[in-house]
Amino acid sequence: NAGVMQNPRHLVRRRGQEARLRCSPMKGHSHVYWYRQLPEEGLKFMVYLQKENIIDESGMPKERFSAEFPKEGPSILRIQQVVRGDSAAYFCASSPPAWDGHYNEQFFGPGTRLTVL
Protein backbone atom coordinates (compact mmCIF):
# COMPACT_ATOMS: atom_id res chain seq x y z
CA ASN A 1 0.00 0.00 0.00
CA ALA A 2 1.68 3.16 -1.19
CA GLY A 3 1.92 5.99 1.28
CA VAL A 4 0.69 9.53 0.85
CA MET A 5 2.15 11.00 -2.32
CA GLN A 6 2.83 14.63 -2.97
CA ASN A 7 4.10 16.35 -6.09
CA PRO A 8 6.07 18.18 -7.00
CA ARG A 9 8.60 17.68 -4.23
CA HIS A 10 10.20 21.03 -4.99
CA LEU A 11 8.54 23.99 -6.67
CA VAL A 12 10.08 27.33 -7.55
CA ARG A 13 7.87 30.26 -8.48
CA ARG A 14 8.41 33.95 -9.06
CA ARG A 15 6.36 36.49 -7.19
CA GLY A 16 2.91 36.83 -8.71
CA GLN A 17 2.80 33.35 -10.24
CA GLU A 18 0.48 30.55 -9.19
CA ALA A 19 1.53 27.44 -7.30
CA ARG A 20 -0.38 24.16 -7.45
CA LEU A 21 0.47 21.43 -4.98
CA ARG A 22 -0.96 17.94 -5.34
CA CYS A 23 -1.65 15.26 -2.78
CA SER A 24 -2.78 11.69 -3.36
CA PRO A 25 -3.97 10.10 -0.10
CA MET A 26 -3.32 6.55 0.93
CA LYS A 27 -5.64 3.97 -0.58
CA GLY A 28 -8.88 3.83 1.35
CA HIS A 29 -8.37 7.21 2.99
CA SER A 30 -11.08 9.76 2.36
CA HIS A 31 -9.81 12.55 4.61
CA VAL A 32 -7.03 14.94 3.62
CA TYR A 33 -5.32 17.62 5.67
CA TRP A 34 -2.90 20.31 4.55
CA TYR A 35 -0.27 21.78 6.86
CA ARG A 36 2.39 24.44 6.33
CA GLN A 37 5.80 24.40 7.95
CA LEU A 38 8.09 27.41 8.09
CA PRO A 39 11.82 26.80 8.72
CA GLU A 40 12.52 25.59 12.25
CA GLU A 41 8.86 25.69 13.23
CA GLY A 42 6.15 23.14 13.78
CA LEU A 43 3.46 22.32 11.28
CA LYS A 44 0.47 24.65 11.19
CA PHE A 45 -2.93 23.34 10.14
CA MET A 46 -4.41 24.94 7.05
CA VAL A 47 -7.42 22.96 5.79
CA TYR A 48 -9.25 19.66 6.25
CA LEU A 49 -11.14 18.13 3.35
CA GLN A 50 -13.21 15.09 2.57
CA LYS A 51 -14.18 14.11 -0.95
CA GLU A 52 -15.86 17.13 -2.56
CA ASN A 53 -16.22 18.91 0.80
CA ILE A 54 -14.19 21.38 2.82
CA ILE A 55 -14.72 20.44 6.45
CA ASP A 56 -12.50 22.98 8.21
CA GLU A 57 -10.53 25.79 6.58
CA SER A 58 -9.89 27.80 9.72
CA GLY A 59 -6.14 27.76 9.10
CA MET A 60 -6.26 28.99 5.52
CA PRO A 61 -5.32 32.58 4.72
CA LYS A 62 -8.43 34.42 3.58
CA GLU A 63 -6.95 35.49 0.25
CA ARG A 64 -4.99 33.76 -2.51
CA PHE A 65 -5.22 30.26 -0.99
CA SER A 66 -7.75 27.61 -1.96
CA ALA A 67 -8.02 23.84 -1.68
CA GLU A 68 -10.12 21.12 -3.22
CA PHE A 69 -10.47 17.36 -3.05
CA PRO A 70 -12.54 16.27 -6.05
CA LYS A 71 -14.42 13.03 -6.39
CA GLU A 72 -11.71 11.75 -8.70
CA GLY A 73 -8.05 12.67 -8.55
CA PRO A 74 -5.73 14.21 -6.00
CA SER A 75 -6.33 17.00 -3.56
CA ILE A 76 -4.99 20.34 -4.79
CA LEU A 77 -3.70 23.25 -2.73
CA ARG A 78 -3.61 26.34 -4.90
CA ILE A 79 -1.78 29.55 -4.08
CA GLN A 80 -2.42 32.47 -6.40
CA GLN A 81 -0.10 35.45 -6.84
CA VAL A 82 2.58 33.96 -4.60
CA VAL A 83 4.70 36.20 -2.39
CA ARG A 84 8.04 35.50 -0.72
CA GLY A 85 6.30 34.83 2.59
CA ASP A 86 4.60 31.80 1.01
CA SER A 87 7.96 30.03 0.86
CA ALA A 88 7.59 27.01 3.11
CA ALA A 89 7.17 23.25 3.15
CA TYR A 90 3.58 22.16 2.59
CA PHE A 91 2.61 18.78 3.94
CA CYS A 92 -0.43 16.73 3.18
CA ALA A 93 -1.75 14.02 5.50
CA SER A 94 -4.53 11.51 5.04
CA SER A 95 -6.59 9.39 7.37
CA PRO A 96 -9.43 6.90 7.12
CA PRO A 97 -12.88 7.99 8.25
CA ALA A 98 -13.11 8.49 12.02
CA TRP A 99 -15.63 6.44 13.97
CA ASP A 100 -17.45 7.00 17.24
CA GLY A 101 -15.72 10.37 17.56
CA HIS A 102 -12.34 8.67 17.95
CA TYR A 103 -9.27 9.98 16.33
CA ASN A 104 -7.60 8.16 13.48
CA GLU A 105 -3.90 8.45 12.80
CA GLN A 106 -2.85 10.88 10.09
CA PHE A 107 -0.19 9.66 7.70
CA PHE A 108 1.99 12.35 6.23
CA GLY A 109 3.41 12.73 2.77
CA PRO A 110 7.00 13.86 2.04
CA GLY A 111 5.95 17.45 1.47
CA THR A 112 6.35 20.04 -1.27
CA ARG A 113 8.98 22.66 -0.71
CA LEU A 114 7.87 25.92 -2.28
CA THR A 115 10.41 28.63 -2.94
CA VAL A 116 9.22 32.01 -4.13
CA LEU A 117 11.89 34.14 -5.79
Q: Would you tell me which residues interact with other proteins (CB under 8 A)?
A: 4, 31, 33, 35, 38, 40-45, 48, 55-56, 59, 91, 93, 95, 98, 101-103, 105-111
Q: Counting beta carbons within 10 angstroms of the beta carbon of residue 105, is it exposed (0 to 12), middle (13 to 18) or buried (19 or more)?
A: exposed
Nearer residue to other proteins within complex by CB, 17 or 54: 54
Work out how close the CB of 77 gets to other proteins at its nearest, in angstroms, rounded to a whole number: 15
**Interacting residues of 89 by C-beta distance below 8 A, sequence separation 6+:** 36, 37, 111, 112, 113, 114
Query: In angstroms, what is the minimal distance from the CB of 61 to other proteins?
Result: 16
CB nearer to other proteins: pick between 69 and 91: 91
